């Protein structure tokens, strides 16, 4: 599933085509994806201006001039692809319709935004903008890891007393929003922390030190366009490149990248998810 960097990369790619522009036409090609689409979705989108395009955790939110917000979740394989517009100095022609093009938005200025989702685990909903943060998918999310409310004292207090492994704690979307398996593995490697370390054993200083590392990894991943392992594509259809910078994730059996370490990356399973780490560096 796309994590924060992938979703933020898509949002940034959509900005020049969507923000400040009207939706001239909306085509909805099925009744829903993971859940049914809201009633009359195409009609409610048609003619609306996208006043702001923002992100909350792994969700894209398009605030509309109608007083509603279009909430978008990419699911496992969802892609928001742009055509008919200049992106990065290149013009992307409209492609032929594809089988899994479920929602198509014709934008003012000639751009087209297509929501393509082969596995159909994505979602779209319309909610009043004034109460968007109370939507069931958003209401219980923790602070944004790149926001001002996520700082050392907050994280230290949130982890204090927890017996759950630090890996699981950082994946808890109630504690911090948007982090996923890939980036937590990379953060813990840079922090020198074993993923099974009880979160409450870190202490205030080590817990607080995770904050700049989380921001560092996320910023690098966003700059690289996210990580493309299976389905992720940027809005212009290109792959992300951060997977070429992984230090431990998906590198089981390979040498540790830390200078002079000499260790080998190992994999353990925690709560059904693979955790990659170097036992020599992370204790």
- Give backbone dihedrals phi and psi of 147, rounded to 5 degrees, phi first: -95, 170
Catalytic, 273? Answer yes
Q: Of 55, 56, 58, 190, which one is the catalytic site residue? A: 58
Return the closest-CA partner of residue 87 out of 171, 143, 13.
13
Catalytic, 167? Answer no
- Give backbone dihedrals phi and psi of 8, rounded to 5 degrees, phi first: -65, -35
Q: Of 2, 16, 143, 195, which one is the catalytic site residue? A: 2
Print burial letters for 185-201: b (CB count within 10 Å at least 16), e (below 16).
bbbbbbbebbbebebee
Return the closest-CA partner of residue 146 out of 216, 207, 193, 204.
216
Residue 36 three-state SS? strand
Q: Of 12, 215, 247, 273, which one is the catalytic site residue? A: 273
Catalytic, 204? Answer no
Q: Which residues pair with 32 in a beta bridge?
A: 36
Catalytic, 3? Answer yes
CA distances from 173 to 135, 142, 155, 231, 266 (A): 15, 6, 13, 22, 26
Tokens representing 235 are 């809005």
DSSP state, 104? E
Cα 244 from Cα 180, distance rounded (Å): 18
Locus of tokens 């205030």 = 204
Q: Are 69 and 126 in contact (CB under 8 A)?
A: yes
Q: Are 240 and 232 in contact (CB under 8 A)?
A: yes
Q: Which residues are catalytic?
A: 2-3, 58, 273
């Amino acid at each position: 599933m796309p994590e924060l960097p992938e979703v933020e990369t898509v949002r940034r790619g959509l900005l020049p085509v969507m923000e400040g522009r009207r939706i001239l036409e909306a085509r909805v090609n099925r009744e829903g994806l993971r859940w049914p689409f809201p009633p009359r979705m195409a009609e409610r989108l048609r003619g609306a201006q996208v006043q702001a395009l923002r992100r909350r955790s792994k969700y894209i939110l398009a605030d509309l001039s109608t007083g509603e917000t279009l909430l978008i979740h990419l699911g496992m394989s969802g892609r928001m692809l742009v055509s008919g517009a200049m992106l990065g100095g290149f013009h992307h022609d409209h492609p032929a319709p594809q089988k899994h093009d479920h929602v198509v938005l014709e934008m003012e200025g000639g751009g087209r935004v297509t929501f393509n989702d082969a596995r159909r685990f994505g979602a779209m909903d319309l909610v009043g903008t004034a109460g968007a943060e109370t939507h069931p998918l958003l209401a219980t999310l923790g602070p944004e890891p790149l926001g001002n409310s996520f700082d050392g004292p907050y994280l230290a207090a949130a982890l204090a007393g927890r017996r759950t492994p630090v890996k699981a704690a950082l994946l808890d979307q109630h504690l911090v929003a948007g982090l996923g398996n890939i980036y937590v593995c990379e953060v813990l490697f840079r922090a020198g922390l074993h993923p099974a370390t009880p979160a409450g054993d870190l202490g205030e200083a080590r817990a607080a030190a995770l904050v700049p590392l989380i921001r560092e990894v996320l910023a690098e991943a966003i700059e690289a366009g996210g990580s493309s392992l299976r389905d992720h594509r940027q809005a212009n259809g290109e792959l992300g490149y951060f997977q070429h910078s992984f230090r431990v994730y998906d590198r089981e059996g390979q040498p540790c990248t830390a200078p002079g370490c000499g260790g080998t990356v190992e994999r353990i399973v925690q709560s059904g998810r693979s955790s990659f780490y170097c036992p020599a560096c992370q204790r």
